[in-house]
Amino acid sequence: MYTNVFLATAFSSKSPKEVVVLKDCLFCIDEQGIIDRIVEPDHADYERILDEYVHTHAFRKIDEGSYLLPGFIDLHVHASQWAQAGTALDIPLHEWLSTYTFPSEAKFADLEYAKVVYEDVVQTLIANGTTTALYFATVHKEASVLLAEICAERGQRGLVGKVVMDLAQECPDFYRDKDTETALRDTEEFILKIKEIAKTTKQGVYPVVTPRFIPTCTDEVLEGLGALAAKHDTHIQSHCSESDWAHQHVQERFGKNDAQALHDFGLLQDKSVMAHCNFLSDDDAKLFAETGSAVAHCPVSNAYFANSVIPIKRFAGMGVDIGLGSDISGGFSPSLYDNSRQAVMSSRMLEDGVDPSKSAELRGVNDSRITIAEAFYFVTAGGGASLSLPIGRLEEGYAWDVQRIDTTVPTAKLPLFDVNEPLLDIFQKMMYLVRPENIREVWVQGELVHSRG
Ligand code: GUN
Ligand code: FE
């Protein structure tokens, strides 16, 4: 009655600080790609299920030296910016957008070009263990639909937004919505089209209402988008309080912080995910917690454009949902392993401080560090909670979104020399040392979507 039964050792987050080891368990997957049961070796049914499946095609024993992790969830990625990843990171955000990024995104009016880049970014993210991604596409409706179609075909769970930017002062003529009315009409048509595609997509694709950020949007479009999200019950994404410049810009326009302004336009709700959020006040963070809005923490990108390290531990402690984002190409790396590592390192630098001319007591912000287990929580269970989807945990009722990590790959062997090494140490080594070569197989909703070597 199960479609697949895996015998494997796996790791999953139980809580932000606690990683559970599921040693030699049977993972029983149903036809919908959902984990129906996880059976531990000492359970009375273990031998019976093993006997029943061991000689069938449904059964798979994961080899020695390989471990399963939940697929990672990228809460903030600009699919179009994959074409410029790693370049132009030496200029400030405002200049980067206007001189570099907007011209680069404008090229996605060409569907042929869009197809080449989007195919590549979706496959690259999957190969890096990312099973769910919350994407910004571009302003172009057709190319945005194409991105969702590619996710659907490749088997990745894609949440896709057609970007809205209609404010003439901040957006060039060659790259913005024609006018407010067109922006809202295109968004609604986009939502309906994606909901159509979703009907035949096992792992799901979802439309996302996507005002780029307040500085590029008129009041009318922000209000209209809040209403559209409510009408069609969609996810919402934007950028919030990312840098000194962006934070100040919104203060000058509305006399309030991004968070409050977004809330006033109906853009903070349970399925909202806001990128960066470095400059949230405590009141802003409370508003996030009350509305169920999530922070997409993008630690690699923040090192270039955010002028600060976000106090992520503080916001997590206030009950805000948090996940990680690559923010390609503000962040250069398509890997959420890289971003997990950077999240830990940035938090350590925030805690200790960075200016050696200051005395130790004045240098940093106490109690700011997170552990690699907390970063793992953000990139799995935290991302799932942020999106209000049953993903990111190896638990009954959750989707079988999984990556197989082979620690023995000759070109990327992990330093494991002691046969009695504790499994939680192996887990930490994986989080810090895994490279794409180690990610040998990836499943989404029970389907194999990537296999290497
Ligand atoms: N703010 C508005 N647009 C963008 C973008 O594309 N990247 C980043 N990092 N910040 C933004
Ligand atoms: Fe971004």
Closest to 69 measured CA to CA, from 406, 416, 326: 406
Q: How far is the CA of 28 from the centre of ligand 1 (A)?
A: 41
Position 357, amino acid: S
Question: CA-to-CA distance for 213 and 165, rounded, in angstroms?
Answer: 8
pLDDT digits (tens, 9 = 90+) for 218-259: 999 999 999 999 999 999 999 999 999 999 999 999 999 999
Average pLDDT for 426-444? 98
Please work out whether the CB of residue 276 comes within 6 Å of at least one atom of ligand 1.
Answer: no
277 Cβ partners below 8 Å, 6+ apart?
240, 241, 242, 259, 284, 288, 295, 296, 297, 310, 315
> Domain 72-387 is classified in which CATH homologous superfamily?
Metal-dependent hydrolases (3.20.20.140)
Please work out whether the CB of residue 97 comes within 6 Å of at least one atom of ligand 1.
Answer: yes
- pTM of the prediction? 0.99
H or E element at residue 211: strand 205-211
Residues of the chain with CATH 2.30.40.10: 4-70+393-451
Computed on alpha carbons and rounded to an integer, the radius of gyration of the chain in Å comes to: 22
| CA of residue 292 relative to chain centroid, distance | 17
Q: Is the dihedral of CA 312, 376, 342, 158 positive or negative?
A: negative
Terminal-residue alpha carbon distance, the chain: 31
What ligand 1 atom has the least distance to the C-alpha of 330?
Answer: 9
What ligand 1 atom has the least distance to the C-alpha of 78?
Answer: 6
Q: What is the pLDDT of residue 362?
A: 97
For residue 71, give the 3-state DSSP assignment: coil
For residue 52, give the 3-state DSSP assignment: helix
Question: CA-to-CA distance for 288 and 304, rounded, in angstroms?
Answer: 25
What ligand 1 atom has the least distance to the C-alpha of 242?
Answer: 10
Provide the pLDDT confidence category of residue 168 given band limits of 50, 70 and 90. Answer: very high
Q: What is the pLDDT of residue 175?
A: 98
Average pLDDT for 428-453? 97
pLDDT digits (tens, 9 = 90+) for 96-134: 999 999 999 999 999 999 999 999 999 999 999 999 999
pLDDT at residue 270 tops 90: yes
For residue 414, give the 3-state DSSP assignment: coil
Q: What is the pLDDT of residue 143?
A: 98
Beta strand pairing call for 439-444 and 402-406: antiparallel
- Please answer whether residues 442 and 131 qualify as being in contact, where contact means their C-beta atoms are separated by less than 8 angstroms: yes
Please work out whether the CB of residue 213 comes within 6 Å of at least one atom of ligand 1.
Answer: yes
Provide the pLDDT confidence category of residue 398 given band limits of 50, 70 and 90. Answer: very high
CB-side neighbour CA atoms (13 Å) of 396:
8
Q: What is the pLDDT of residue 34?
A: 98
Question: CA-to-CA distance for 322 and 183, rounded, in angstroms?
Answer: 29
Q: How far is the CA of 311 from the centre of ligand 1 (A)?
A: 20
Q: How far is the CA of 279 from the centre of ligand 1 (A)?
A: 15
As given in the structure block, the two tokens for residue 119 are 């195919």
Q: What is the pLDDT of residue 98?
A: 95
Provide the pLDDT confidence category of residue 14 given band limits of 50, 70 and 90. Answer: very high
Averaged confidence pLDDT in the chain: 98
Please work out whether the CB of residue 297 comes within 6 Å of at least one atom of ligand 1.
Answer: no
361 Cβ partners below 8 Å, 6+ apart?
none
pLDDT digits (tens, 9 = 90+) for 41-68: 999 999 999 999 999 999 999 999 999 9
Position 236, amino acid: I
Question: CA-to-CA distance for 132 and 117, rounded, in angstroms?
Answer: 18
Provide the pLDDT confidence category of residue 260 given band limits of 50, 70 and 90. Answer: very high
Q: What is the pLDDT of residue 334?
A: 98
pLDDT at residue 453 tops 90: no
Residues of the chain with CATH 3.20.20.140: 72-387
Q: How far is the CA of 193 from the centre of ligand 1 (A)?
A: 26
pLDDT digits (tens, 9 = 90+) for 78-98: 999 999 999 999 999 999 999
pLDDT digits (tens, 9 = 90+) for 132-149: 999 999 999 999 999 999
As given in the structure block, the two tokens for residue 224 are 């209209």
- Please answer whether residues 183 and 209 qualify as being in contact, where contact means their C-beta atoms are separated by less than 8 angstroms: no
Tell me which CATH code domain 4-70+393-451 carries: 2.30.40.10
Closest to 158 measured CA to CA, from 129, 138, 130: 130
